[in-house]
C-alpha cells in the first residue's frame, strides 16, 4: 500500500531521511497496513502518518548527538524510536515495549527493513534498566510527565537526557512535575521546539538533563 504524501511533506522527508527515504516509505507502508490491522494505529491516522507521526518524531534527532545510545520507552508502533533508527543510522536504539503483539510487529518491520542499529526489548521500562548503556531516553504518548520520569530516568543510570514528545500543555506538565523530577536526578528542565526549518508543524519536546547532584 502506497501512502500518499504531499509535496511539502515529501520535501521534509527528503531533508531528514536523505538516502534512507525508501526505508522510511516502507516503514510508513507497514504502519498503514499491518500496523492498523493489528491495532497499533487507528485507520483514521493513515492519511496523517507522515506529518503527524513519522516526521513529527524523526526531527527529535536534532537534539541527539552522533553515536548516541537511545532507549525508546513504550515504543508501540515504533514512534519515535524506529523512525529515529531509520533517519539516524549512527544511533544505537533499544525499543522497549511490554505487549507481545507490538513486539512481534516491531521485529517483523526491523527484519523487513534490514535495520542493524535497533533491537527490541519486551518488558516494562523498569525491567530494561541495565540491558544496554543508555545516553538518551525518548518517549511519545506514554504517560503524564511525572509518571514517565519515574520509569524512564532510571534507564539513564545517573546521567543523560530524557526527551519526551509532548503537546501544548508541556510547560504545565513541567511545572507540575518539577519537584519529583529533581528528586529523580533531573538537573535542568526545558520545553524546546524542533523541526522548525523542516516540517510545517514543529515538534514540542520536554528536555530533562539528568546528572549527579551539584
**Residue 71 CA neighbour count, 13 Å, CB half:** 29
Cα–Cα nearest to 38, from 96, 83, 78, 88 = 78
Q: Tens place of pLDDT for every residue, the chain, 214 residues?
A: 667 787 889 999 999 999 999 999 999 999 999 999 999 999 999 889 998 899 999 999 999 999 999 999 999 999 999 999 999 999 999 999 999 999 999 999 999 999 999 999 999 999 999 999 999 999 997 789 999 999 999 999 999 999 999 988 999 999 999 999 999 999 999 999 999 988 888 999 999 999 986 5
Give me the pLDDT at residue 141, please.
79
The DSSP code for 94 is E
Quick one: cell of 3? Answer: 501512502
C-beta neighbour count of 147 within 10 angstroms: 12
Q: What is the DSSP string of 110-151?
A: HHHHT-SSEEEEES-GGGGTTTS--SEEEEESSS-HHHHHHH
Supply the pLDDT for residue 212: 80
pTM: 0.95
**CATH, domain range 7-210:** 3.40.50.150
d(CA 21, CA 137) in angstroms, rounded, equals: 24
H or E, element range at 27: helix 21-30
With 0-12 / 13-18 / 19 or more C-beta atoms within 10 angstroms meaning exposed / middle / buried, residue 17 is buried
Phi and psi at residue 181, in whole multiples of 5°?
Answer: -65, -40
Amino acid at each position: 500500500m502506497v501512502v500518499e504524501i504531499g509535496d511539502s511533506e515529501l520535501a521534509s522527508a527528503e531533508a531528514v531521511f536523505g538516502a534512507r527515504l525508501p526505508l522510511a516509505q516502507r516503514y510508513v507502508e507497514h504502519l498503514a497496513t499491518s500496523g492498523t490491522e493489528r491495532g497499533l494505529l487507528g485507520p483514521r491516522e493513515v492519511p496523517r502518518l507522515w506529518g503527524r507521526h513519522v516526521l513529527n518524531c524523526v526531527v527529535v534527532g536534532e537534539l541527539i548527538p552522533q553515536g548516541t545510545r537511545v532507549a525508546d520507552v513504550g515504543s508501540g508502533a515504533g514512534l519515535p524510536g524506529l523512525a529515529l533508527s531509520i533517519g539516524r543510522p549512527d544511533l544505537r536504539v533499544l525499543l522497549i515495549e511490554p505487549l507481545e503483539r507490538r513486539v512481534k510487529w516491531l521485529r517483523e518491520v526491523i527484519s523487513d527493513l534490514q535495520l542493524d542499529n535497533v533491537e527490541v526489548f519486551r518488558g516494562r521500562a523498569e525491567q530494561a534498566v541495565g540491558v544496554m548503556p543508555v545516553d538518551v531516553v525518548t518517549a511519545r504518548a506514554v504517560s503524564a510527565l511525572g509518571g514517565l520520569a519515574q520509569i524512564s530516568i532510571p534507564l539513564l543510570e545517573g546521567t543523560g537526557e530524557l526527551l519526551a514528545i509532548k503537546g501544548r500543555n508541556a510547560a504545565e506538565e513541567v511545572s507540575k512535575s518539577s519537584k519529583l523530577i529533581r528528586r529523580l536526578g533531573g538537573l535542568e528542565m526545558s520545553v524546546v521546539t524542533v523541526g522548525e526549518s523542516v516540517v510545517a508543524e514543529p515538534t514540542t519536546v520536554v528536555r530533562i538533563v539528568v546528572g549527579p547532584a551539584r
